[in-house]
Amino acid sequence: MKVYLKDGEIATENLNPNIKVYGEQLYQEKDKEYRIWNPYRSKLAAGLLNGLQSVDLKDSTKILYLGASTGTTVSHISDILVNGMIYAVEFSPITCKKLINLSSKRFNIAPILADATKPKTYLNLVEKVDFLYCDVAQPNQSELFMKNMDLFLKDDGQGLLMLKARSINVSLKPKKIFKEEEKKIKEKGFKIIEKVKLEPYEKDHIGFVIEKSF
C-alpha cells in the first residue's frame, strides 16, 4: 500500500495536485505532491498509525466502502487506487452531495446513495470487490457488514470493519462488546486475522480485518 511517512505522520500522493479535500496539509517532495492523512479524521489512518499490517491496498484494488460520509478517508484511498475503483455507499442525501462533488474530481470514486443495511438495493451497481470497508455506526453494524461481505466480496478478498462500541450498547463496557461482536462474526463463518484499537484517535473503537472461512 502506497502510504508515506513524513515527520511521524502518514500521507498519500495527491491524485489531484494543489487540491485539498478537507483542509489537510499538502507538501511537495521532488516533483510529487502529498496529502497528510489526519488520523483524527480517518479511522483507517488511525489504524495504520496504530500498527495495522494485514491490509494491503494495491493500485488496481476494487473496494466497496460502506459509510463513505463526505469522503475524507475515501479520498486518501482514491490516491492509492490509481487504477482501481471505490464504490462509496452513503445514506444521507446531504452528505452524498459532497461525495458526488468529490467524485467529479476523482475518476475512481463511484458514489451510491443507499442504505448499507439493504445491500440488494445496489446489487446491480456494484461488481465483486477485492476489499470491503465498513464504517457505519449502527447497533447492527456487524450484521450489515457480513451481509455485504456475502454479496460482494471475492472469495480471496478482505474486509475491514470499524466497530464503534457506543453505537451498539452504551451500557456495556467496550471490551465486552468487542468480544461479543467477534464471537458473532466467527459464528457466521468468517475469520478475524487482525485487530487494532483506534485510541487515542477514536475512543471505544476497534478495527477487525476479516476474511471468509472455507
pLDDT tens per residue across span 106-141 = 999 999 999 999 999 999 999 999 999 999 988 899
Dihedral, CA of residue 2, residue 97, residue 63 and residue 158, to nearest 10: 100
**Which pLDDT does position 213 carry in this prediction?**
82
Asked, for residue 160, whether it belongs to a domain, the answer is yes
Asked, for residue 135, whether it belongs to a domain, the answer is yes
pLDDT tens per residue across span 143-160 = 999 999 999 999 999 999
Mean pLDDT, rounded, for 167-196: 93
**Which pLDDT does position 170 carry in this prediction?**
86
Asked, for residue 14, whether it belongs to a domain, the answer is no
**Which H or E run includes 74?**
helix 72-80
Asked, for residue 152, whether it belongs to a domain, the answer is yes
**Which pLDDT does position 28 carry in this prediction?**
95
**Which pLDDT does position 1 carry in this prediction?**
87
**Which pLDDT does position 5 carry in this prediction?**
92
Asked, for residue 136, whether it belongs to a domain, the answer is yes
Alpha-carbon distance 150 to 178, whole Å? 21
Asked, for residue 174, whether it belongs to a domain, the answer is yes
**Which pLDDT does position 47 carry in this prediction?**
97
Average pLDDT, the chain: 95
**Which pLDDT does position 116 carry in this prediction?**
96
Q: Which domain holds residue 186?
A: 39-212
Asked, for residue 3, whether it belongs to a domain, the answer is no
Contacts of 59 (CB under 8 A, 6+ apart): 2, 80, 81, 82, 83, 84
**Which pLDDT does position 189 carry in this prediction?**
92
Note the pTM of the prediction, 2 decimals: 0.96
Q: CA distances (Å), 30 to each of 16, 34, 71, in order?
A: 16, 11, 27
**Which pLDDT does position 167 carry in this prediction?**
92
Spatial contact of 130 and 109, defined as CB atoms under 8 Å apart: no
Strand partners, 113: 90
Asked, for residue 137, whether it belongs to a domain, the answer is yes
Mean pLDDT, rounded, for 26-51: 96
Band of residue 175 on the pLDDT scale cut at 50, 70, 90:
very high
Band of residue 202 on the pLDDT scale cut at 50, 70, 90:
very high
The number of folded domains in the chain is: 1
Spatial contact of 209 and 55, defined as CB atoms under 8 Å apart: yes
pLDDT tens per residue across span 56-93 = 899 999 999 999 999 999 999 999 999 999 999 999 99
Question: Which CATH number characterizes residue 182's domain?
Answer: 3.40.50.150
**Which pLDDT does position 155 carry in this prediction?**
93
